[in-house]
Structure 1
Amino acid sequence: MTSRIASLVLATAAVALPFASANAAISEWVSVQGGAVRLLSSERLESGDYQLGLEFSLDPGWHTYWRFPGESGIPPQLDFSASENLRTKTVLYPTPVRYSDAYSSSIVYNESLVLPIIVSPDNASEPVTINASLFFGICNEICVPGDASFSLTLSPKEQTDELAKLLIDNNLLALPKTGSPALEKIRSIEPFIDEGEEKLSIKADVSNGHTVDLFAEGPEGSYISLPSLEEQDGKSATWTLSTKGLLKSAEGHTKLTLLLVDGDTSYESEHTVKLEQ
């Protein structure tokens, strides 16, 4: 999945880069160890919101993290609190990949990508001033923190920036499917005890011959491992997930967000699970 994103980004890079410094809708690159980041603004949507994108250009061998990093890592932390005429922001995450080394397994992006961002103004008739700060982790053989600041002005009268739109739209195509199609892919989530440890058996419908993976995210504050693939046949796959570090209510309920990767397509769904312990 990330290879497809990178190919689409690289295909437009030769066009985008010469104009980046002169274009008010695209911030300057901010260099960090292992790559660079910048903020894009492509267009005002019919809803009155603005379409932005946070672009990461990663050097070969480097990776950064999904919104839940897995067993180690720092996810992107994007602060828009110093912005003006901004009501809300929503960051969208294209499908990541699994990364494992001798110490841990993480959920990462290992090639260049754009995180789409939807920005809603307080007053739709007035410009929005974006003052954003970013803190994130970036790793190769070592892991280092990266930080950057960006400023953009979004005007209701500005026309679409085609270069920024192309970069953002390419990554919108890599977002997971949600809703009923995603819920229907998860066949069952069953708790069980294995040598005194509570685990979940998660079974999903998958396509024959596809490479599959599963990522799990618990309630805020949870710290959980990655699911382990136990079995895959022509039409289904089963993973085991430890509930250690998974926060739950006093009644034993927890919420899981599952991201199922089935070949080049991914599905994201939310589930309420009753734990045994």
Structure 2
Amino acid sequence: MHNMRQIIPILLAACGVAASVGNARAGDASTWSEDTRSAMRLIAGRNAKDVPQLRAGIEIKMKPGWHTYWRYPGDAGVPPRFDFAGSTNVKVAKVLYPAPQVHSDSGGQSLGYSDSVIFPVAVTPKDPGKPATLRVKVDYAVCEKLCVPAEGNAEVTLSAGDSAQDSALQAAEARVPKKVAAADLSLTARRVDGGAKPLVMVELAPPDGGPVQIFAEGPTPEWALPIPQPAPGAPAGRQQFSFALDGLPSGVDPKGPFDLTFTVVKGERAYEVTTRLD
């Protein structure tokens, strides 16, 4: 009995330590909001005290063989939708998108992420001196051979301090395309014919050479441009891609001037360029 009396306080103390550690780590991430084929949660990054922006991320994991979508899904798919209503001490929550991968199937080519993805979130608090509680509802789709809708709800409190999730969030942030000027990539875009759906030729000098992928977006989310395909005939040291001006919103003149945004992906690095098509 004497030994048991000694053991019980030790066990209770050990449980207290374990609970303390568990609570500390739980503060870095919400619980998983699970669906049949996927789950999502919020994670907190490492944040300094009294900074104008706090770092967070929306993590989605999927069963093997399933994928979800980028902000522009390509030939088919549904982009994710994020609703931060109900957040506390949050002025702005801006979702950032890591560079996507191309998925090809019988329905065409789509843009998104396999297995898992973290969407970084830049959070501007109303009062930088106080913690911010981020609450989000995410409507998204996951696809294998068929696409099914999914929904997740999560919340996490952001404040100054370290985070066990920071390395994963940093890796996702590094995959967000860096905004650069068209001149930095020597990127040009021009129409090469005058058809009803003019062909656009994009030419660029990839950083450090080597093959790249590019994706095209219009001025608003209503645009659904084809994925540019490699085109022959580029001068030495440059690459060419072409796509038809298809998928424009009703009433838009395909021969008129407008801004196009190109995401250029080379390995683990990605760039975002907005240029005028006159």
Q: TM-score range by the shorter chain?
A: 0.7 to 0.9
Q: Give the unaligned 5+ runs of structure 2.
A: 1-20
8 Å contact kept, 1:203–1:239:
yes
Counterpart code for 1:204: L
What CA deviation, in whole Å up to 9, does each residue of 1:89-147 have, x standing for no partner? 11111111111211221111113221111100112223322221000111011101110
CA distance in 2, matches of 1:201, 1:175: 25
Equivalent residue, structure 1, for 2:5: none
What CA deviation, in whole Å up to 9, does each residue of 1:201-247 have, x standing for no partner? 00111268734211011121112211121136762211112112235
CA distance in 2, matches of 1:241, 1:19: 52
Equivalent residue, structure 1, for 2:201: 201
TM-score with structure 1 length normalisation?
A: 0.82
CA distance in 2, matches of 1:175, 1:128: 24
Question: In structure 2, which of residues 256, 263, 277 is the aligned counterpart of residue 259 of structure 1?
Answer: 263
**Change in CA separation of 1:24 and 1:259 when aligned onto 2, cut-off 3 Å:** same
Equivalent residue, structure 1, for 2:14: none
Q: Within 5 Å, which residues of 2 pair with 1:101-112?
A: 101-112=105-116
Structure with higher strand content: 1
Q: Tell me by how many angstroms 1:263 deviates.
A: 3.3
Is the counterpart of residue 238 in structure 1 residue 240 in structure 2?
yes
Counterpart code for 2:246: K
8 Å contact kept, 2:245–2:254:
no
CA distance in 2, matches of 1:159, 1:194: 57
Q: Within 5 Å, which residues of 2 pair with 1:5-24?
A: 23-24=26-27
CA distance in 2, matches of 1:178, 1:236: 20
Is the counterpart of residue 30 in structure 1 residue 33 in structure 2?
yes
Counterpart code for 1:242: A
Q: Which moved more, 1:245-254 or 1:110-119?
A: 245-254
Equivalent residue, structure 2, for 1:8: none
CA distance in 2, matches of 1:91, 1:67: 10
Q: Within 5 Å, which residues of 2 pair with 1:201-220?
A: 201-206=201-206, 210-220=210-220
CA distance in 2, matches of 1:171, 1:20: 25
Equivalent residue, structure 1, for 2:68: 64
Counterpart code for 1:267: Y
8 Å contact kept, 2:198–2:255:
no
What CA deviation, in whole Å up to 9, does each residue of 1:49-77 have, x standing for no partner? 11001112222111111111112111111
8 Å contact kept, 1:21–1:27:
no
TM-score with structure 2 length normalisation?
A: 0.82
What CA deviation, in whole Å up to 9, does each residue of 1:5-59 have, x standing for no partner? xxxxxxxxxxxxx959951220011222332211001233463311001112222
CA distance in 1, matches of 2:26, 2:77: 33
Q: Give the unaligned 5+ runs of structure 1.
A: 1-17
* Larger Rg belongs to: 2
**Identity percentage of aligned residues:** 26
Equivalent residue, structure 2, for 1:40: 43
CA distance in 1, matches of 2:209, 2:273: 23
**Change in CA separation of 1:186 and 1:209 when aligned onto 2, cut-off 3 Å:** closer
8 Å contact kept, 1:206–1:234:
no
Counterpart code for 2:47: R
Equivalent residue, structure 2, for 1:147: 151
**Change in CA separation of 1:249 and 1:165 when aligned onto 2, cut-off 3 Å:** farther
8 Å contact kept, 2:198–2:254:
no
Counterpart code for 1:210: G
Equivalent residue, structure 1, for 2:137: 133
For the aligned residue pairs, the C-alpha RMSD in angstroms reads: 2.6
Equivalent residue, structure 1, for 2:79: 75
Q: Tell me by how many angstroms 1:194 deviates.
A: 6.6
**Change in CA separation of 1:87 and 1:191 when aligned onto 2, cut-off 3 Å:** same
Q: How many residues align?
A: 253
Counterpart code for 2:230: L
**Change in CA separation of 1:140 and 1:251 when aligned onto 2, cut-off 3 Å:** closer
Moved over 6 A (4+): none
